[in-house]
Amino acid sequence: MPHVLFHLAFPVSNIPDTKRFYVDGLGCQIGRENAGSIILNLQGHQLVAHVTNEPLTPQRGIYPRHFGLIFTDETEWRSLLDQAEQQHLQFYQSAKSRFLGTTLEHSTFFLEDPFSNLLEFKHYRHFEAIFGEKALAQIGDAEA
């Protein structure tokens, strides 16, 4: 196990729909669970879904808030894409490529969970673009 894990807490309306999307749909493993929260293992990282009575309203576009994973293996990225399609998960943006022909080139797709949380899953063609390529200023989609 890596020495550092990522943790993210996010709002949901109920645990059963959370399980359907994250466990049945994405393949997360369940950790601890109670009536108001559930811990999920997403590819070795801890997600904690907390039930809230506050209204969960969709944001307009993918910015400023979304979360997800960067796959270093394109086959694993494609496998998750296939799984999402087979499970009929809600795509917010279909799979596409960004920054074609540059060192920032990557494949990406966005899912929307039942609570309007957006998740992005991507694979960079050039590993160094994940944190590097500082001379290039492009980040994300200008139109999104």
Count the neighbouring beta carbons within 10 Å of the beta carbon of residue 73.
9
Predicted structure pTM score: 0.92
Provide the CB-side half-sphere exposure for 44 (13 A, CA).
Answer: 8
C-beta separation of 46 from 6 below 8 A: yes
Residues 25-80: pLDDT tens digits?
999 999 999 999 999 999 999 999 999 999 999 989 999 899 999 999 999 999 99
In 3D space, the residue among 115, 123, 68 whose CA is nearest the CA of residue 95 turns out to be 123
